[in-house]
A and B are shown apart, each in its own frame.
Chain A
Amino acid sequence: MSKQRFSALSLFRRALGGHRSWEPQWRKVEPKPSYDVVIVGGGGHGLGAAYYLAAEHRVGRIAVVEKGWIGGGNTGRNTTIIRSNYLFAESAALYDHSVKLWEDLSQVLNYNVMFSQRGVMMLAHTVHDVQVFKRHVHANRCSGVDNEWLTPEEAKAFCPPLNIDPDIRYPVLGAALQRRGGTARHDAVAWGYARAASELGVDIIENCEVTGIRRDPQGRVEALETTRGLIRASKVGVSAAGNTSAVLSLAGVRLPLESYPLQALVSEPVKPVFPCVAMSNTIHAYVSQSDKGELVIGAGTDAYTSYTQRGALHINMHTLDAICELFPMFRRMRMMRNWGGIVDVTPDRSPIIAKTPVPGLYVNCGWGTGGFKATPGSAHLFAWTIAKDEPHPINAPFTIERFRDGYLIDEAAAAAVAH
């Protein structure tokens, strides 16, 4: 990490040279014939897993293969919200593990991921919302996760643009606030992990799509067929989000996943006007302001499964209706871009970080509409699972077999996007 370590001094020194002496943040490499571990999927979760395998588990030869460019999938397509106020103890432990890793991630990676704990406020509009969110507040406090209840007036004091007029279509009856929640810079997460992993010797291979998974006569994974040739591997970890079903079907593994488009959009950039993250599950809107000044707005999933990375305009319009009613000052804002990402949704809205029935093949998937917040924790636990061939106690409940055995972790109410 020494040569290009970022600090005020190194920035100053390079500035004197006109910033012409910087080198690429990660090495461009050709795939080697074999590795100890190959991670499929170069998003934050996959790159992070490679980093923790190298940094904490001292695995020798590691590669990340990515069919496009790193951070170009859901890592670059989400609304960067980070929170851990999930209902059940298993989930609270999982997501809070991640929040704790976020808190010093910039220092650990020596890369500014711009983690900002500005607070995540979830709005309640119906009696049912109020009951559910208060239950979440109490459950979170029992799990040691901060979450507090706000009256409409307190919510407005925390977020002044909020409209708490009792006569709107869905009036605000209160809010649950997690002050440790916030946002981070999505690209920096992928780039920071890629840079740190590359310096520890991890090969990051872009434009390399997996087309087959070879197994030995005992059924164990032995190699990946890719668009850049055959890559032998003793262990393969798949972290491919919406494409996980397609990748694992190459090894004959069926998963409880369906892949849906999830859309987001950003406005023109404006001066700082919005102090926190505000979300409404019931009327489906969530919004924050990026450091660049754009409003970052999350819309809903489309109705049907798809791999197209785009969705229908009426989904975005529905979200903007809600935003304009809750935050009337945004009514004349212009939207600049919208896009879709493909999210892999499980029946209980909880992820899977586990071994598969195929020896040597591991999977980290099912993050659905809320994977970004979990990036460091998910990567950390996936690396543990691959290195030790058994789950960490935190991800032990998040198996594929929970669907067979009836131990579902039903977070449909805590997952923000209504499905």
Chain B
Amino acid sequence: MLLIPCPHCGERPEIEFTYGGEAHLVRPADPSTLDDAAWADYLYMRTNTKGVHAERWRHARGCGRFFNALRDTTTDRFLATYRIGEPRPAIAAGGAR
């Protein structure tokens, strides 16, 4: 089980959290101007990164808040967590936790 550092509450076990998928996917401001391929890209296509992955988590059984995390998907190690709205920290794979 992962130990996940919630930026609001500190380290907590994984079962307190729900996973929110890839982070920083922004809903297009005016979907009616998109073609089908661009809309499908937003809805369905995912980077599915093998390496450092920016993703959303929600501390559902804790503070209840969403936050973003950088996790290395080849080791499951969390490299950073940060609040919604903050930019993605510049951390490469193998960086300190």
The residues of A with any CB-CB pair to B shorter than 8 Å are 243, 245-246, 249, 254-259, 303-308, 312-314, 344, 347, 403-406
B2 and A404 contacting across the interface, CB-CB below 8 Å: no
With contacts A246-B50, A257-B48, A312-B1 taken as known, whether A303 is within 8 angstroms of B43 at the C-beta atoms is no
Residues of B that sit less than 8 Å from A by CB: 1-2, 14-15, 17-19, 21-22, 36-37, 40-41, 43-48, 50, 53, 55, 71, 73-76
In the complex, given contacts A245-B50, A308-B73, A347-B43, what are 16 additional A-B residue pairs having Cβ atoms less than 8 angstroms apart? A254-B45, A256-B40, A256-B46, A258-B21, A258-B22, A303-B18, A303-B19, A304-B76, A305-B48, A305-B53, A312-B1, A312-B14, A314-B1, A403-B40, A403-B44, A405-B36
Contact A403 B43 (CB under 8 A): yes
> A307 to chain B: closest CB distance in Å?
5
Q: Which of B1, B15, B17, B36 contacts A404 (CB 8 A)?
A: B36
Known: A255-B48, A256-B45. A313 touches B40 (CB 8 A): no
In the assembled complex, how far is the CB of residue B63 from the closest CB belonging to chain A, in whole angstroms?
18
B89 to chain A, nearest CB (A): 19
List the A residue with the shortest CB-CB distance to B69. Answer: A304
Are A258 and B46 in contact, with the CB atoms below 8 A? Answer: yes
Closest to A254 in B: B45
Minimal beta-carbon separation of A209 from chain B (angstroms): 12
B2 to chain A, nearest CB (A): 7
By a CB distance below 8 angstroms, the chain A residues around B41 are 254
By the criterion CB–CB under 8 Å, are A258 and B76 in contact?
A: no
B45:A243 contact, CB within 8 angstroms: no
Nearest chain A residue, comparing its CB with the CB of B77: A308
**Shortest Cβ gap from A254 to chain B (Å):** 4
**In the complex, residue of chain B having the shortest beta-carbon distance to the beta carbon of A312:** B1
Which residue of chain A is the closest to B4 with respect to CB atoms? A304
Query: Given A303-B14, A312-B14, do A404 and B40 touch, yes or no (CB 8 Å)?
Result: yes
Complex-state Cα separation, A258 to B39, whole angstroms: 18
Q: What would 11 A/B residue contacts be, using CB atoms closer than 8 Å?
A: A245-B46, A246-B48, A255-B46, A256-B40, A258-B48, A303-B18, A304-B19, A304-B55, A305-B53, A306-B76, A403-B43
